[in-house]
Amino acid sequence: MTNPHHIILLAHGSSDRRWCQTFEKLAEPTLHAIENSTIAYMELAEPSMDTIVAQAKAQGAEQFTVVPLFLAAGRHLRKDVPAMIDAISEEHNVTMRLADPIGYNPQLGLAIRDVVQEELAKAAV
């Protein structure tokens, strides 16, 4: 069954290629598990949300959920990203929903705990 939604994993973006590679790697399990999911960058790197929406629309997608790969919401997520989403959804005539930043989900706090426990095990060697 084709997933009716397109998922955009939105990272901030950086001119530093290593920074983007970290997010590409973070996105891998999601891209592997979820059909019609892609990563996009807010600024300083490609692809942009606009590029992704245009491509997906050309293939029939009309509904998008944008999941911010941000731990917390600052000015970007409160102001800039909603404004971008308004402009892009109007331009391409699609529906876009902005989800909470990933850091609002308790799963992240549990993953952080597991990571720290691994660090502690290393420190104890």
> What does the binding site for its own copies look like in residue numbers (CB under 8 A)?
3-5, 7, 9, 11, 14, 16, 18-19, 22-23, 25-30, 32-34, 37, 63, 65, 67, 69-74, 97, 99, 101-120, 122-124
**Which of 115, 8, 9 has its CA nearest to residue 70?**
9
**Which of 62, 95, 92, 67 has its CA nearest to residue 81?**
67
If you search the block for the tokens 């929406």, which residue do you land on?
Answer: 53
Q: What is the nearest approach in angstroms of its own copies to the Cβ of residue 52?
A: 15
Q: What is the nearest approach in angstroms of its own copies to the Cβ of residue 87?
A: 21
Q: Which is nearer to its own copies, 87 or 116 (CB)?
A: 116
Q: What is the nearest approach in angstroms of its own copies to the Cβ of residue 23?
A: 6
If you search the block for the tokens 């942009």, which residue do you land on?
Answer: 48
The Cα 62–Cα 67 span in angstroms is 16
The Cα 56–Cα 70 span in angstroms is 23
Q: Which is nearer to its own copies, 83 or 123 (CB)?
A: 123
Q: What is the nearest approach in angstroms of its own copies to the Cβ of residue 40?
A: 14
